[in-house]
């Protein structure tokens, strides 16, 4: 009965039905998973049960071989980091678009994790595992060089995530993938620099009888 209910909730999204599992989950790439939120309590009755997602990831990818990315800003879908081996949070609201800086930070994190864990997988979810998840995965496909054309990336995601080819259906979310692709081409390359010295001139007020105090603070950007 619960399996039937979960099928109704997932609608036209592809489900993983192998080795005794029936989860709202699909492999977009061999190392990229899109899935509905792992849930507990009453919510777990109609969404992905937390315990089964934990078991699936450990069996398929081993302890330490996966990182779960939670995109939910809703308190109801927050969970303790210890629920999985690795958890990264990049939250933004349902049916909305994330800041470009959040997309870039997400893409860099996923890319770094996968580079450091050959054979590992990034398991990405929002509430239903379709709209917000689709934005971030599609942008990562562009970031990582799998696609250059945003439309092709969107279509690829839609085909891999759903049965009816309707992946990201929010027009503003689709446009944002295009904006990110454009921004990425002009994104400044990050450089590591070392501050070796600071030289100041024309500060006569810090000497003499009524001298002040000069404080220099450095903080990461």
The DSSP secondary structure of 29-85, one letter per residue, reads ETTEEEEPPEE-TTGGGTSEEHHHHHHHHHHHH-TTSEEEEEEE-SGGG---GGGSS
pTM, 2 dp: 0.79
Q: Per-residue pLDDT for 182 more than 80?
A: yes
Q: What is the mean pLDDT of residues 119-148?
A: 97
For residue 104, which of 170, 181, 32 has the smallest C-alpha distance? 181
Which is more confidently placed, 49 or 207? 49
Direct distance between the N- and C-terminal alpha carbons of the chain, in angstroms, rounded to an integer: 51
* Tokens (6 digits) for 72: 């939910």
Q: Per-residue pLDDT for 155 more than 90?
A: yes
What topology does CATH give the domain 2-195?
A: 3.90.190
**Annotated catalytic residue: which of 67, 72, 107, 126?**
126
Per-domain boundaries in the chain: 2-195
Q: Report the alpha-carbon distance of residue 117 to residue 65 in Å, rounded.
A: 7
17-27 pLDDT per residue, tens: 998 999 999 99
Q: Report the alpha-carbon distance of residue 105 to residue 102 in Å, rounded.
A: 5
> Is 126 among the residues known to form the active site?
yes
Using only the alpha carbons of the chain, give its radius of gyration: 22
With cut-offs at 50, 70 and 90, classify the pLDDT of residue 199.
confident
Tell me the percentage of the chain whose pLDDT exceeds 70: 82
Q: Per-residue pLDDT for 79 more than 60?
A: yes
Looking at residue 191, what is its pLDDT?
A: 73
């Amino acid at each position: 009965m619960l399996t039937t209910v979960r099928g109704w909730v997932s609608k036209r999204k592809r489900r993983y039905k192998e080795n005794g599992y029936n989860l709202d989950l699909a492999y977009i790439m061999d190392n990229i998973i899109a899935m509905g939120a792992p849930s507990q309590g009453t919510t777990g009755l109609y969404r992905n049960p937390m315990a089964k997602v934990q078991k699936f990831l450990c069996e398929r990818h081993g302890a330490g071989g996966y990182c779960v990315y939670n995109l939910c800003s809703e308190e109801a879908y927050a969970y303790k980091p210890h629920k999985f081996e690795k958890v990264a949070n990049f939250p933004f609201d349902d049916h909305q678009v994330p800041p470009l800086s959040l997309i870039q930070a997400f893409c860099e994190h996923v890319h770094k994790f996968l580079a450091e864990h050959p054979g590992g997988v990034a398991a990405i979810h929002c509430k239903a595992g379709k709209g917000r998840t689709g934005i971030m995965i599609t942008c990562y496909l562009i970031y990582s060089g799998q696609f250059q054309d945003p439309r092709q990336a969107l279509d690829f995601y839609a085909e891999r995530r759903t049965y009816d080819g309707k992946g990201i259906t929010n027009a503003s979310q689709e446009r944002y993938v295009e904006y990110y692709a454009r921004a990425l081409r002009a994104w400044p390359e990050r450089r590591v620099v070392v501050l070796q010295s600071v030289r100041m001139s024309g500060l006569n007020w810090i000497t003499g009888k009524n001298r002040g105090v000069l404080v220099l603070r450095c903080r990461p950007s």
